[in-house]
Amino acid sequence: LAKTTQPISMDSYEGQEVNITCSHNNIATNDYITWYQQFPSQGPRFIIQGYKTKVTNEVASLFIPADRKSSTLSLPRVSLSDTAVYYCLVGGNRDDKIIFGKGTRLHILP
Amino acid sequence: GAVVSQHPSWVICKSGTSVKIECRSLDFQATTMFWYRQFPKQSLMLMATSNEGSKATYEQGVEKDKFLINHASLTLSTLTVTSAHPEDSSFYICSARDLNRREGYEQYFGPGTRLTVT
């Protein structure tokens, strides 16, 4: 399983766009990149998954450069309710167990 | 989307007793489920992989005789914390893979169970 590195914490303000970058230098050819969001005392919630280039859904965008050694989760126009911990995970095999890193604690200020 | 439930959502038990936590995939089948433990302000720590119809695979440092896992069907896995002690107090989270998902990989997480041992 590829190891991931992301900032421990970030602060931003309501209405801003927030970008969280994750490094995964040892990503394998068949690995996908997945981001999860977790609120206190809740299970992680799937945000977005991608393999290459750009993926967008109703919640976020995921940018993956050509070398795939990093990825950036983009949250448009954040609100206070986006305050949470965000985890970047890399893996590809359907039987892969997910090992969580430390995640990024995002704090949105009014 | 796929839903995973856990029961109970919280439980308080006395030291020395056993507690069973259920994890169910509600609208999909999962041959593999995972159990995590999370302490305050920390990340999720994988405890074990639960395989339907076979023995669970435990991560290093996790006592298999203390944390009993049973995956009796494609939609249910249970975690039993035996002879619980205060240091077992934690947030336990399960996740499940969709058997029929063909691309990428994704785990669906339950809402978690807060265990407090007094």
Predicted confidence (pLDDT) per residue in A9-45, tens digit? 999 999 999 999 999 999 988 889 999 999 999 999 9
- Chain B within 8 Å of A94 (Cβ-Cβ)? yes
b or e along B83-108 (b: 16 or more beta carbons within 10 Å of the residue's beta carbon)? ebeeebbbbbbbbbbbeeeeeebbbb
In this predicted structure, the answer to whether residue B3 has a pLDDT above a threshold of 80 is yes
What average pLDDT score do residues B11-37 get?
Answer: 93
What average pLDDT score do residues B24-33 get?
Answer: 88
Interface test with A, best of B5, B11, B44, B89 (most A CBs within 10 A): B44
- Whether A94 sits inside 8 A of B101 (CB atoms) is yes
Task: Quickly state the pLDDT bin for B29 (edges 50, 70, 90).
Answer: confident
In this predicted structure, the answer to whether residue B1 has a pLDDT above a threshold of 70 is no
- Chain B within 8 Å of A43 (Cβ-Cβ)? yes
- The one-letter amino acid code at A39 reads F
pLDDT in tens, A36-47: 999 999 999 999
Do residues A12 and A18 make contact, with C-beta atoms less than 8 angstroms apart? yes
pLDDT in tens, A48-103: 999 999 999 999 999 999 999 999 999 999 999 999 999 999 987 666 778 888 99
More confident residue, B84 or B31: B84
Search chain A and give the residue with CA nearest B98. Answer: A94
Residue among A40, A37, A38 at smallest CA distance from A48: A37
Q: Give the per-residue pLDDT at B105.
A: 65
What average pLDDT score do residues B33-57 get?
Answer: 92
In this predicted structure, the answer to whether residue A1 has a pLDDT above a threshold of 80 is no
- Whether B105 sits inside 8 A of A102 (CB atoms) is no
Chain B residues touching A44 at Cβ < 8 A: 44, 93, 95, 109
Q: Give the per-residue pLDDT at B87.
A: 96
Q: Give the per-residue pLDDT at B101.
A: 66
Q: Give the per-residue pLDDT at A30.
A: 85
- Whether A44 sits inside 8 A of B114 (CB atoms) is no
Q: Give the per-residue pLDDT at A2.
A: 63
Residue among B36, B94, B91, B41 at smallest CA distance from A85: B41
pLDDT in tens, B57-111: 999 999 999 999 998 888 999 999 999 999 999 999 999 987 666 566 678 899 9
* Rounded Cα distance, B113 and B23, in Å: 10
In this predicted structure, the answer to whether residue B18 has a pLDDT above a threshold of 80 is yes
Q: Give the per-residue pLDDT at A93.
A: 66
- Whether A100 sits inside 8 A of B36 (CB atoms) is yes
Chain B residues touching A46 at Cβ < 8 A: 1, 106, 108
